Amino acid sequence: MKQKATNQQVGHALAVGTIIVWGLTFVSSSVILRVLSPVELLILRMLIGIIALTAIRPKRLKLKKRSHEFYFMGAGFFAVTLYFLLENTALTYTSTSNCAVIVSTAPFFIAIFAKLFLKEEKLTSVFFVGFAVAIAGIGMVSFAGRKLELNPFGDLLILLTAVSWAIATMFMRKIEKHGYPVILVTRKLFIYGVLFALPTLLFMPRKGEWADLLRPGIIFNVLFLGVIASAVCYITWMMAMKRVGVVRSGTYIYLIPIVTMLGAVVFINEPIHWLQVGGALLTMAGLFISQWRKKQPKKATEHIEETTLHGG
């Protein structure tokens, strides 16, 4: 009994630590985007992640069927290339706080697409009430952005980021059913993400102020994103879920926007409007309401909660 309690305490600590890291990724990305373009940051972050994951588990992933390659390609494109291109670009137009709040709506789109394409998620009236509440919260956040003279175009981009993650989830759900190791799957998605991103260098704006990467602050943020957030945290999150369960660990998801807001104030002196705080709370309430139900199939619950955070 004592050992079980200890394991749960460790699990909760791992979950909190992972959430703090993922919440701060928006802040780190905004810092690096001062010297690199969105696509350059994407490629650099993924390459570091690939190296770190290879060091952790150098084993090669063997596909059980050739047709599964299509799922990896789809997930790599939507979960890595398009997701991070949209997110990184959005960070150049709007605040880190806005990005964290709006991208946290991904579970709504995941549920909708799961219902349409996988027939796994039952959408109830409570879900739509929660969705309406969250949209009202997003409206408050976006309106606050205008008051702070930020470009609402970035809010639209980050909303598309949530949609991109939801589409990627459909591919990842197919992958999950075949029991591939998570670390090897993650590395393969990163590889496809880089491959799909390379051609965009031909037409997307580039900064390429690579000399600035030697600055201690920039180096720290690059390693933080590539090694800690993209590689290590996948492992710590899996360990947390194993110890405290998918449902309990998943509740920590709602702390991400709060961590991001606090991090933005402390580390980059980003101004926070009271409407952003209110909108964030309203959006989180909508997310909570939408997932409130008496009984939920274990697989559906696991699917939504696991995939919500992997885009951090």
Overall average pLDDT of the 77-84 stretch: 95
Residue percentage of the chain with pLDDT more than 70: 84
- Residue 68 CA, chain-centre distance (Å), reads 23
- H-type alpha helices, 57-198: 68-76, 83-90, 96-103, 106-113, 125-147, 153-176, 182-197
pLDDT tens by residue, 17-44: 988 999 899 999 999 999 999 999 999 9
Query: pTM value?
Result: 0.81
Greatest Cα pair distance in the chain = 59
Extract the tokens encoding 139: 């409206």
Helices and strands (H and E) in the chain: how many: 15, 0
- Residue 272 CA, chain-centre distance (Å), reads 22
Identify the pLDDT of residue 251.
62
In this predicted structure, the answer to whether residue 309 has a pLDDT above a threshold of 50 is no
Cα torsion for 283, 286, 291, 293, to the nearest 10°?
160
pLDDT tier at 249, thresholds 50, 70, 90 = low
- Compute the mean pLDDT over every residue in the chain, rounded to the nearest whole number: 83
Task: Render 16-77 in DSSP notation, one character per residue.
Answer: HHHHHHHHHHHHHHHHHTTTS-HHHHHHHHHHHHHHHHHHH--PPP--SSTTHHHHHHHHHI
pLDDT tens by residue, 270-304: 887 777 788 888 888 887 787 666 554 555 444 44
